[in-house]
Amino acid sequence: MSGQPIKEFVAYKEPIPFESDGVESGIMFRSHVVMSDGQHLILSDAQHGTGWLTVDETLVFKCDEGGTIVNWAEVAGGRGIRTDEVVSELNESGYQSSPD
């Protein structure tokens, strides 16, 4: 884990609706942060589906300065947690290093 906290937010909870079979099926909130070590991260907060198909998770991926994900290996986050909880996790524990 990198123990560096968040240095700044580039974007916070930018809403992005998405479709499945041409019908809006959910919404994702994307946050772009820069860590104190200079690493850019995307926090992808997904909320969609119903019943056993419900997806409620916030996953964190490395991205470039423009917010494009450069590695799909998760470096923080998980199921059943929201963006604010992941922000706290990143500030307290940092993120997992992953090969680029």
Mean pLDDT of 26-55: 86
Percent pLDDT > 70 in the chain is: 84
User: What are the pLDDT digits (tens) for 41-52?
Assistant: 999 998 776 676
Choose between 53 and 79: higher pLDDT.
79
Confidence of residue 62 (pLDDT cuts 50, 70, 90): very high
Q: Where are the domains of the chain?
A: 6-93
Q: Could you read off the pLDDT of 76-90 as tens digits, one per residue?
A: 999 889 999 999 999
> Taking the alpha carbons of 16, 19, 23, 26 in that order, is the dihedral positive or negative?
negative
Q: Cβ(89)–Cβ(4) under 8 Å? A: no
pLDDT at 99: 59
